[in-house]
Copies of this chain bind each other. A is one copy, B any other.
């Protein structure tokens, strides 16, 4: 059994990780920590775990945990993990960081977008961006995996095949993404108070959301040139789900739906967690809810020469904790699907 520790277990991403690992047949939760709930039973914070988990929340001590467990999942706000992780720890245990600190390869870009210094730039090169379907080989031997963000997972998976094949003009990419409200986390704020977001919709952080450079970094790597794009996130009053609508001009107007389909099949046909919808049907977030699936559909708009790609994930699973477990499975040589084969809860 793989021994795991979850640091920051009482946030939403942490809770989802605990939930998923409870059903994992090859891993066990050895320690859970929570800064704000030290000494409290986990099942008192999330009563859903009553009769399931007897664990008490501990104070976080990465140094100590590194001695005791095989892998540490870190689910903390950005800016903290990079202060706590160091080479010494990485020699003793593996780390999967669900925060943003090791996703951006460029220290400068990180500091620009996150408005904070990066305290362990020496680890940036070693860290592997854990977008499983595209980075499996590197993840296999990684000691430090930077688990991708929710919007980014959905956006990058939607665009990489066509970017890599050079079939869209990367100067024209626009992503309009919609997220359920768990994406905003557990902290109270007027914008996530039930009565102030229910029955409403809004765009926010237009062209300034921190997932933008992360998407650009990955697309650029596979495009072989610098990609810059416009990214707009929207808040939608549902619990879970991200829907990304990606727009770009086709480089060649004669390209057909079937051509595009062939490209996506080339990269994704053998992926268990990626499902391509039938022609003229598009993903709905309910079909992936509570699962690690990523669903994708697309349309060629002959009239304008645009390609439209729609991707859907569950932000807490494929967009966070599910993908983290998928990464763990690969790092420990397990079947990637272990513990993740839950059927989406569509009702």
Contact = CB atoms under 8 A, between A and B. Distances in A.
A200 interface: yes
Interface residues of A, number: 89
B19 A275 contact: no
A199 B239 contact: yes
A211 interface: no
Contacts of A202: 243, 282-285
A311 B193 CA distance: 23
A49 B343 contact: yes
A95 interface: no
Contacts of A162: none
A299 B277 CA distance: 33
A115 interface: no
Contacts of A89: none
Given A174-B247, A188-B189, 8 more contacts: A18-B343, A19-B343, A48-B289, A188-B188, A194-B197, A199-B199, A199-B240, A201-B284
Given A12-B195, A174-B306, A201 B287 contact: no
Interface in A220-260: 228-230, 232, 234, 236-241, 243, 245, 247, 249
Contacts of A234: 178, 243, 245
Contacts of A188: 188-190, 193
Copies of this chain in its oligomeric complex = 4
A193 B186 contact: yes
Nearest to A177: B176
Contact of A48 (B195, B199, B286): B286
B306 A48 contact: no
A104 interface: no
A245 to B, nearest CB: 5
Interface string A281-323: 0111111111101010001010110101010100010000000
A11 to B, nearest CB: 11
